[in-house]
Amino acid sequence: MVDQPLWEQIGSSFVQHYYQMFDSDRSQLGSIYIDASCLTWEGQQYQGKRAIVEKLASLPFQKIAHSITAQDHQPTPDSCILSMVVGQLKLVVPQSVFFILFS
């Protein structure tokens, strides 16, 4: 068995951490974003740590769980990691939507 490349390990760890925080206490996500961060949610754009966290904290659901079905992480030329995550959101009310995260 071959060890995962470092970018796979970092990307997988980030995804696990991000969605654990999102599912348990979205207001804590401020530690992940910076003032240059951008988020598009249902066509609305938000820029900056404060605006993004306010939006995520104001979402109308309290309990949610992410079910990740696939994730792919690739290194970029500028020493970053591009992550793509696909899965489903599980709400208290039976409803499923697809999500994709690029980080």
Using H for helix, E for strand and C for coil, what is the string for the chain?
CCCCCHHHHHHHHHHHHHHHHHHHCHHHHHHCCCCCCEEEECCEEEECHHHHHHHHHCCCCCCEEEEEEEEEEEECCCCCEEEEEEEEEEECCCCCCEEEEEC
Domain ranges of the chain: 6-102
Domain boundaries 6-102, corresponding CATH code: 3.10.450.50
Answer yes or no: is pLDDT of 103 > 60. Answer: no
Q: How far apart are CA 24 and CA 61, in angstroms?
A: 12
Answer yes or no: is pLDDT of 1 > 50. Answer: no
Structure tokens at 59: 């979402």
Give me the mean pLDDT over the 10-29 stretch: 91
Which pLDDT score, from 0 to 100, does residue 23 have?
87
Which pLDDT score, from 0 to 100, does residue 60 have?
83
Answer yes or no: is pLDDT of 17 > 90. Answer: yes
Answer yes or no: is pLDDT of 97 > 70. Answer: no
Answer yes or no: is pLDDT of 27 > 90. Answer: no
Which pLDDT score, from 0 to 100, does residue 94 have?
53
pLDDT in tens, 50-95: 999 999 999 888 778 888 999 999 999 999 999 999 998 887 665 5
